[in-house]
């Protein structure tokens, strides 16, 4: 536990009592020192005074909740009015206690806070365990072939490049390759290369040492290291800068990475699966993508066809989505008339399976017990 208070006597009293109760205490004399400690170490909970020199309790709270949002912070309101305390809770404080602290109340608040931390962690672990990978639904020839390929390549160490339009199920393919591989007990770590600003991608992938650039306030482990022993899924690889491509190439060639600002190499054992909706060879031609990296990544190529190319799968997909969505909403499964499915098969699915799922969700919400062709006509904009 971290105790931040500028009054030595308060720190001492709290420290003594709480050590006696079995807590391990770290003390800080003001918000600034508190923040420094907080960003360096992981605490289970924080007790923080509000009025302090340098960085006050409210400022600490704001910064700390962006660093580690799950750590409960309990404010100690000395000169505090109830308003300050309420504001603190609005800003994300777990609770507040007034000064001088009532011992019983303090201990109960702390116990509850720590219990919450345990629950949050447990829930995260359980959610991961429960979220079995969604089946790849579809009986069409191209989907059958993709499933066969997944089964064949999953147990190998081969790199796989998954291509296809938006929403066709590229990520799903990547998840299954990991799931059916010998690495499935290790993490599957996902990086969306398009979502990370160019100047941060290197640190995101390879990590950085503390102080290696202005905002690097603590050491950070990159995605390659996080995926060690498991699989790294490089999504939207076509959007990666040439600079980052060069570094990824090295990681793949040598099995080594260097954290930004570090001088030693780290060995990593990672299987890479990449995905893109771009035509990478076209990108190579336009000098946006390195040919050598392309060859490294595309040992196995899986192209997921658009939904328009496999409309035979629509009935099965709709049935699956009706099942999933009605379960999510806690209602009994709605039916759908054959004529309504026919209409859905005529539709031009530019957003592919993701769009189909959204449409089925909309129909579940807006239609009666059974979805009719009229529902489809009214609620799906035909194009």
Ligand X SMILES: Nc1ncnc2c1ncn2[C@@H]1O[C@H](COP(=O)(O)OP(=O)(O)OP(=O)(O)O)[C@@H](O)[C@H]1O
Instruction: List contacts with ligand X (CB under 6 A).
Output: 134, 136-138, 164, 166-172, 277, 317, 320, 353-354, 357
Closest to ligand X by CB, 7 or 355: 355
Residue 355 found at the interface with Mg ion (CB under 5 A) = no
> Pick from Mg ion, ligand X, none: which does 169 bind, CB < 5 to 8 A by kind?
ligand X
Helix (H) or strand (E) holding 3: strand 2-4
DSSP string, 124-183: HHHHHHH-PPPP----SHHHHHHHHHHHHHTTS---EEEE-STTSSHHHHHHHHHHTSTT
The three-state secondary structure class of 314 is: helix
Closest to ligand X by CB, 172 or 344: 172
The three-state secondary structure class of 258 is: coil
Length of the chain as a residue count: 383
Task: Report the alpha-carbon distance of residue 301 to residue 297 in Å, rounded.
Answer: 9
Q: Give the nearest distance from C-beta 196 to ligand X in angstroms.
A: 15
Helix (H) or strand (E) holding 231: strand 231-235
Closest to ligand X by CB, 121 or 134: 134
| Residue of 56, 59, 95, 171 that binds Mg ion (CB under 5 A) | 171
Q: Give the nearest distance from C-beta 361 to ligand X in angstroms.
A: 11
Q: How many residues bind Mg ion (CB under 5 A)?
A: 1
Q: Give the nearest distance from C-beta 275 to Mg ion in angstroms.
A: 6
Task: List 300's β-bridge partners, or say none.
Answer: 160
Asked if residues 224 and 269 have their Cβ atoms less than 8 Å apart, the reply is: no
Q: Which residues have CB under 8 Å from 122's CB, separation 6+?
A: none
Closest to Mg ion by CB, 94 or 321: 321
Closest to ligand X by CB, 1 or 336: 336
Q: Give the nearest distance from C-beta 54 to ligand X in angstroms.
A: 45
Q: Give the nearest distance from C-beta 164 to ligand X in angstroms.
A: 6
Q: Give the nearest distance from C-beta 357 to ligand X in angstroms.
A: 6
Stretch that binds Mg ion, among 62-70, 86-94, 163-171, 220-228 (CB under 5 A): 163-171
Closest to ligand X by CB, 72 or 164: 164
Helix (H) or strand (E) holding 328: helix 314-329
Which stretches of the chain bind Mg ion, using CB under 5 A?
Answer: 171
């Amino acid at each position: 536990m971290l105790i931040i208070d500028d009054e030595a006597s308060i720190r001492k009293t709290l420290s003594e009592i709480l050590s006696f109760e079995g807590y391990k205490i770290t003390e800080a004399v003001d918000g600034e020192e508190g923040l420094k400690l907080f960003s360096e170490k992981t605490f289970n909970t924080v007790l923080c005074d509000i009025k302090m020199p340098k960085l006050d309790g409210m400022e600490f709270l704001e910064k700390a909740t962006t660093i580690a949002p799950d750590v409960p912070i309990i404010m100690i309101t000395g000169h505090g009015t109830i308003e300050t305390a309420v504001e603190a809770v609005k800003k994300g404080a777990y609770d507040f206690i007034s000064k001088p602290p009532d011992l019983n109340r303090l201990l109960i608040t702390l116990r509850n806070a720590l219990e919450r931390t345990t629950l949050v962690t447990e829930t995260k672990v359980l959610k991961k365990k429960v979220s079995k990978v969604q089946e790849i639904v579809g009986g069409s020839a191209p989907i059958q072939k993709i499933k066969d390929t997944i089964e064949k390549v999953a147990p190998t160490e081969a790199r796989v490049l998954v291509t296809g339009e938006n929403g066709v199920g590229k990520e799903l393919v990547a998840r299954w390759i990991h799931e059916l591989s010998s690495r499935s007990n290790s993490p599957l770590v996902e990086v969306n290369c398009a979502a990370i600003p160019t100047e941060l991608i290197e640190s995101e992938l390879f990590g950085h040492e503390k102080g290696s650039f202005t905002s690097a306030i603590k050491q950070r482990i990159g995605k390659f290291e996080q995926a060690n022993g498991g699989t790294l899924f490089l999504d939207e690889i076509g959007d990666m800068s040439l600079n980052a491509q060069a570094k990824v190439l090295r990681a793949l060639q040598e099995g080594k990475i260097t954290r930004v600002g570090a001088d030693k190499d780290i060995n990593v054992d990672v299987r890479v699966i990449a995905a893109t909706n771009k035509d990478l060879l076209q990108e190579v031609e336009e000098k946006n993508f390195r040919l050598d990296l392309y060859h490294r990544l595309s040992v196995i190529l899986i192209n997921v066809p658009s939904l328009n190319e496999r409309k035979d799968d629509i009935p099965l997909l709709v049935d699956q989505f009706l099942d999933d969505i009605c379960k999510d909403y806690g209602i009994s499964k709605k039916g759908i008339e054959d004529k309504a499915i026919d209409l859905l098969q005529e539709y031009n699915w530019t957003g592919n399976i993701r769009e189909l799922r959204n449409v089925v969700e909309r129909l579940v919400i807006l239609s009666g017990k059974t979805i009719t062709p009229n529902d489809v006509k009214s609620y799906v904009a035909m194009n």
